[in-house]
Structure 1
Amino acid sequence: MAITTKDIAKMANVSQSTVSRCLNDSPMISEKTKKKVLKIAQEHGFQFNAHARSLSANRTYTIGVILPKSLFDFEGEVHFRSWQNELIESLERMEFDVIVSFFENRFTKQNNIKRLIAAKKVDGLIILEPALDDETITILEETDVPFIFCKYIPPFYKTRDVDFVCVDQFKGGYIATNHLIKQGHKNIMCISANRIGGEFGLRTEGFKAALHDSNLQYSDKMLFYGDTTFESGYRVIKDNVEMLRNITAIFAQNDLMALGSILALKESGINVPKEIAVIGFDDIELCTFYKPYLTTIHQPTKEIAALTCKRLIEKLNATESTPKQKLEISPTLVIRESCGINF
């Protein structure tokens, strides 16, 4: 039986991609590892397939990660840092290099997805930008470069067949609201945001559904809008102090707005959580920087990053077209101090 690169990888105690790189004299691999792998290949009579080798040589072993424009903002940087880190870590474990870019060059306005594909700089793309134009979508559909959407459900998923791995945002909104209801809260303020990507709209729908299932009436007067920043959460509370008399809990749809709300409540002489409970969404590091520690909805970034990378590599190695995967991963409740710890 002829030896394969998989056999060599096992004997050399390296990954199959490392074996391929060694056989193609990739500069990414140390000379020591190359000698070890080549020696095993020669000793076991490994037959080089010139056609397969030429195809393999076209691999860059590099994946492009397209981040959203909102990363330029402080709140975006706080939120997306963990997503970026988890994706890079997952890809590096698979021995792929990473090019991190944005959909559009801030200065030249050049389409970076189009550039990376045209220049053959990447073997695949992971896209976290929710707002792509029709031209870019067409380019992606016509390219041989595999791609997958991460975190956001692409808005066109109902009309175009694409792969994505994301958080079940509706369920997250439901879990947050249901937690407050279980604690006995019936008058709940919800602070949402108008942002591209649809996640805040889905969280609001989850909020409404939890109220409905508990026979609680929803009113538009319960819903307020910030812009995802700490300052906007603070301002919503400051601008609506009078109505807080009838409020016993607040669901802020991201952690920064929740933290801003808590500060405004404190300045207004309102105790959190004794007088008003507050729950956030995302589980960023800042949740445990200030008292009371923030109860929130945790987005499973590590799991989503791993599943996204695994699926992309499957697409990269597939010899024929496979059915698209559409995965929504459930978030979880993290109970801390801002809602009280008993329920």
Structure 2
Amino acid sequence: MAATIKSVAEMAGVSIKTVSRVINKEGTVKPDTLKRVEEAITALKYTPNKAARDLASKGASVLGYVYDNPNAYYIIDMQKGILDVCRKNNFELLIHPCDASSKDIAKELVDMVDTAKLAGLILSPPLSEMPDVLGELDDNNINYVRILSGDGAFDSSLPYVLVNDFKAAFDITQHLIKQGHTHIAFIAGDEIHKSTIERFNGYKAALKDANIAFDESLVIKGTYSFETGVKSAETILAMPSHPSAVFACNDEIAAGTLFGARMKGVDVPNDLAIAGFENSPFSRQTFPPLTTASQPTNEIAQHAAASLIQFLRAKKAKLPHENLVHTFVPELVVRASTEKAS
């Protein structure tokens, strides 16, 4: 296994920040400490990450996008949106996938910001919704913008972008109800994501609005994955009186549910209507295509990057800045997976 800056720091008995200073020849390290770090680098045959050094040399015109999300389509759209804004504003972008469940995730981000000399971070869920991570970033005076699920104002001096998952989930469930469905299952995504909670609450609110009793047995826990949908289809179709409709927490789950239903010979939508969320390529590539909520991920990413850059420039110029907030409401897109044949 190749040596890392962390292993060098451990061997030399110093912090990662100190190793970074030695690598970047900042001249602020004591001679004996410098010697220990250089000996550790030699012993471990450590080669500093060229990309990180190149970015660091550009000064404070580098942003970092940090994510832990298995949805490749979401990540691609996020990267495209952020890169578009960065290029227009002469900023570089460092992309950093990570494991949000790691006990050292906060330290990992702080060290990355220091090593690559980042001006700020763009955080998407679940990292943007983790108080411990945000607290560590605040304690180290790290600038960031959050993309998170919600529809209300937050007490924050830093910019953030909201996605009103509750309203979109309400609209999807209401659509299913208007199609005559009263026995509607809900397939949840990862509990660590606030979007799961907001979409679930929107589902329940629509049922209540239509005077339909909430049935906890129709709620299936899962993850944001195709496999969750396939397994959930088996569970749903095995129910003594299975639901006539399913609201899946995202399009991957919905596509898996559709696959599982068709494997059992179920007619979608006449025997089982299925709706997803996000309007990813999954929703358009299935047969029948999926009803969903269109989440403008690329536009969300652009707003997040632009808000952070605007904030950084105002801060650098010591100018007052307003709390930059923008809310997106994913729009209902009705397709054949929920439309019964007339």
TM-score, length-scaled by structure 1? 0.72
Seen in structure 2, the aligned counterparts of structure 1 residues 134 and 293 have a Cα distance that, compared at 3 Å, is closer
Aligned equivalents of 1:92 and 1:244: distance in 2?
Answer: 56
The answer as to 2:266 corresponding to 1:270 is yes
CA–CA distance in structure 2, aligned partners of residues 144 and 246 of structure 1: 53
Q: CA RMSD in A?
A: 3.1
Query: Match of 1:126, SS?
Result: strand
The 3 A distance-change label for structure 1 pair 112 and 168 is same
Shift of 1:340: 1.5
User: For 1:1-343, what aligned pairs fall within 5 Å after superposition?
Assistant: 59-68=59-68, 70-71=69-70, 76-103=71-98, 111-119=107-115, 121-131=117-127, 136-152=133-149, 162-243=158-239, 245-318=241-314, 319-340=318-339
What one-letter code is carried by the residue in structure 2 that aligns with 1:220? E
- How much does 1:201 deviate? 0.9
Distance 1:293 1:182, change over 3 A: same
Q: Which amino acid aligns with 2:246?
A: I
- Alpha-carbon distance change, 106 to 85 in structure 1, aligned in 2, over 3 angstroms: farther
SS at match of 1:251: strand
Range 306-315 or range 242-251, more displaced: 242-251
Q: Provide, for residues 226-245 of structure 1, a one-character-per-residue CA deviation record: whole Å limited to 9, x for no partner.
A: 22211111111213323274
Q: Deviations over 1:26-82 (max 9, x none)?
A: xxxxxxxxxxxxxxxxxxxxxxxxxxxxxxx984321111112x34xxxx3243222
* Cα separation, partners in 2 of 1:244 and 1:77, compared to 1, 3 Å: farther
CA distance in 2, matches of 1:274, 1:135: 47
* 1:19 corresponds to: none
Offset of 1:254 from its aligned partner? 0.9
The answer as to whether partners of 2:245 and 2:272 remain within 8 angstroms in 1 is yes
CA displacement at 1:279 relative to structure 2: 0.4
CA apart distance, 1:144: 4.8
Letter in 1 for 2:309: I
Distance 1:321 1:341, change over 3 A: farther
List runs of 5+ in structure 2 lacking aligned partners.
1-56
Gaps of 5+ in 1: 1-56
Deviation at 1:323, TM superposition (A): 4.3
Output the CA distance in 1 between the equivalents of 2:246 and 2:163: 22
The number of equivalent residue pairs is 280
Residue identity matched to 1:322: H
**Identity rate of aligned residues, in percent?**
25
1:258 CA displacement: 0.6
Q: CA deviation at 1:259?
A: 0.8
Q: What is the SS of the residue equivalent to 1:201? A: helix
Which deviates more from structure 2 when the two are superposed, residues 132-141 or residues 306-315? 132-141
Deviations 1:128-165, CA, capped at 9 Å, x for gaps: 25247766434422445431112456xxx967654320
Identify if the C-alpha distance between structure 1 residues 129 and 181 changes in structure 2 by more than 3 Å, giving closer, same or farther: closer
CA distance in structure 2 between the aligned counterparts of 1:326 and 1:185, rounded to whole angstroms = 37
C-alpha contact 1:231 1:257 (8 A) present in aligned 2: yes
Q: Choose 183-192 or 84-93, whichever is displaced more.
A: 84-93
Higher deviation after alignment, 87-96 or 133-142:
133-142
